[in-house]
Amino acid sequence: MTELAAVKAALKTQAVETPSWAYGNSGTRFKVFAQEGVPRNPWEKLDDAGKVHEFTGVAPTVALHIPWDKVEDYAALSKHAEQRGVKLGAINSNTFQDDDYKLGSVCHPDASVRRKAVDHLLECVDIMDATGSRDLKLWFADGTNYPGQDDIRGRQDRLAEALAEVYARLGDEQRMLLEYKFFEPAFYSTDVPDWGTAYAHCLKLGPKAQVVVDTGHHAPGTNIEFIVATLLREGKLGAFDFNSRFYADDDLMVGSADPFQLFRIMYEVVRGGGFTPEVAFMLDQCHNIEAKIPAIIRSVMNVQEATAKALLVDREALAVAQQTGDVLEANAVVMDAYNTDVRPLLREVRKEMGLDPDPMAAYRASGWASKIVEERVGGEQAGWGA
């Protein structure tokens, strides 16, 4: 197989999971902006996700968020997803929106609140059993705002106890994915603030616990690709939440703020053996002012472009330059790949997959946007808290 053929073959195997909540209404802490045609329930979210996969060919699964996507019959929801050409993916928990969680959830000083939070996480595992989902994705808003507000070490003990109980409930083929976030909504201390904290808990839990790297959850200037390389080396990188940021957790379309960073991350994924189903590529974004479905399609395409460039890095030439200490040549090899226009290559890949070479144009021509505006009238649109 030629080098170009190998790159094409790899791109055809790529899978990017889209998040159900990205199809609903979202906004800032000041305002949630409603859009026409937004889904009113999980079923309609899957209808839209099916369209993203139809036109990109590489978005075969949809992550659910509980309780936002709670239904009576998950078998029926799974069947509906399959009828739309997709499957249900990771189950995301929600321990941050109830009034009880003002001082935390699994780290709360009150045992009854901790019990409520853990029971919700166990419920999410039950839903995994019903949907056939492999991954339970956990993000905790837990933390404190003031020195002395709570015992920092004690909160870590509570976190470890909760995670251990949920870990013990996982099936043989199920995983726990632990996400971290530098700050917000807590501003003095966050209970899972960085990859090291997440890694330490996952290491103690065992092989079914993996770390999630959300590309928007770092301090400015953080070398995210170093984190990716380290977690891959340790066998502890379970998933990405792809988005983009200018300042903090902006949840913008992946690659929109810093496409070079996305390329550098994807190179470490390729170099470190992370381009496999064992590392889940997920989107975690909020499309506040842009149309939902086209924005998600664009994000998927941005991931594809960064991946194609990463696959084109001449690793043999790079290894020689690195070994001989040729700093400029090593950088040039990387930059040559990054500066390559891979859009013609991806158009060829899509044609070979039986897809329209331009997913955005294909979506616009499909009439789906006008169809959902006409049909989704009445009811309550899905969004934060819905």
- Tokens at residue 195, please? 């990859």
- Residue 146 has, within 13 A of its CA and on its CB side, a CA count of 3
Domains of the chain, by residue range, sit at 12-375
The four Cα atoms 101, 20, 289, 98 give a dihedral, to 10 degrees, of -10
User: What residue ranges of the chain have pLDDT lower than 70?
Assistant: 1, 384-386
- Enter the tokens of residue 147: 């020195």
143 beta partners: 190
pLDDT in tens, 133-158: 999 999 999 999 999 999 999 999 99
Q: How far apart are CA 43 and CA 192, in angstroms?
A: 33
CATH code 3.20.20.150 for 12-375: yes
Tokens of 238: 């379970």
CA distances, 26 to each of 96, 251, 274, 367 (Å): 16, 11, 31, 24
Number of H helices, E strands in the chain: 14, 12
For residues 208 and 167, is the Cβ–Cβ distance under 8 A? yes
Confidence at residue 386, expressed as pLDDT on a 0 to 100 scale:
44
What confidence score (pLDDT) does residue 268 get? Answer: 98
**Residue pointed to by tokens 């690709």:** 225
